Amino acid sequence: MSDDESAAAPRKVFGRRLIYGRRRGRKLSPTRESRFETWLPRVGFALPPPDRPLDPATLFGAPKQAYWLEIGFGDGTHLWTLAQQHPEIGFIGVEPYLHGVAKLVMRIADAAEAGGYADNIRILTDDARLLLKALPDASIARGFVLFPDPWPKKRHNWRRIVNAETLADWARLLPPGGELRLATDVPDYQRWMLRHVLAEPRFGWLAERSADWRQRPADWPASKYEQKAIAAGRRPQYYRLRRN
Ligand SMILES: C[S@@+](CC[C@H](N)C(=O)[O-])C[C@H]1O[C@@H](n2cnc3c(N)ncnc32)[C@H](O)[C@@H]1O
């Protein structure tokens, strides 16, 4: 994200949402646009009215064994890989950037039309912080925040989506033994994440040696942004946090 974009005034959507950065990219081709419009209503959902909890089981046709939540999924590469590996899990993805959402929706549409989709992904195209507030206690078994926007300028650090408040939300949403996975390639955000995580007593850091945060665990698929970061010579770190 460029400095110009990060300096842009916050955009208010419907009064209570605050979404920074891009929401729309290049225009979709007419064919993709029409496919997107057909499929998004099948896999998308809206936030409930304020103060009404959202039971994740109600988002899926049949109850799932557990529910995993990824916020800021980008083009959905990581989410899609996990969803194919775990048809028994209900995946909830949140991403306000519509071009990224379209990529995941097309993957779902292609797989569903080929008869190879477990119908286990639901998408919210909104500010993830609103969903974190709407979900009930202990309703999410695993969470992911991968390569969030870095907001590198000191005066913009407060916009970072990993912060004391969202970590408290995650601690409420995850049951004991639940796991939160964070990653970033930005050294200052690495320090920031660890500082905030270590200050939240409800999380324990699952790391014994440096390889545990320097190498992506085998059951943790790559994300699109991560691949770009590594290709550019940056060194991501991967944090697995256990809800105590
Ligand atoms: C640097 S990208 C990383 C995308 C993806 N996680 C990956 O690793 O490829 C950060 C993403 O977070 C999304 N994002 C920013 N603010 C958000 C918010 N309030 N709620 C949900 N997603 C958000 C952006 O639209 C963007 O797609």
What CATH number should be reported for the domain holding residue 216?
Answer: 3.40.50.150
For 168, the domain range is 3-243
Protein residues whose CB sits closer than 6 Å to any atom of ligand 1: 19, 21, 71-74, 94-97, 100, 127-129, 146-149, 161, 223-226
The residues facing 208 across adjacent strands are none
| pTM of this structure | 0.92
188 within 8 A of 150, measured Cβ to Cβ: yes
What contacts 30, CB < 8 A, 6 or more positions away?
Answer: none
Residue 192 CB: number of other CB atoms within 10 A? 18
By annotation, the residues acting in catalysis are 149
Q: Which residue has the tokens 């991501």?
A: 236
CA nearest to 107, candidates 237, 224, 238, 232: 224
Please state the atom number of ligand 1 nearest to the C-alpha of residue 97. 25
Task: Output the six-digit token pair for 6.
Answer: 């990060």
pLDDT by residue for the chain (244 residues), tens digit each?
Answer: 333 333 333 333 333 555 566 666 678 888 888 999 999 999 999 999 988 999 999 999 999 999 999 999 999 999 999 999 999 999 999 999 999 999 999 999 999 999 999 999 999 999 999 999 999 999 999 999 999 999 999 999 999 999 999 999 999 999 999 999 999 999 999 999 999 999 999 999 999 999 999 999 999 999 999 999 999 999 999 999 999 9
Indicate the number of domains in the chain: 1
* 3-state helix/strand/coil string of 35-79: HHHHHHHHHECCCCCCCCCCCHHHHCCCCCCEEEEEECCCCCHHH
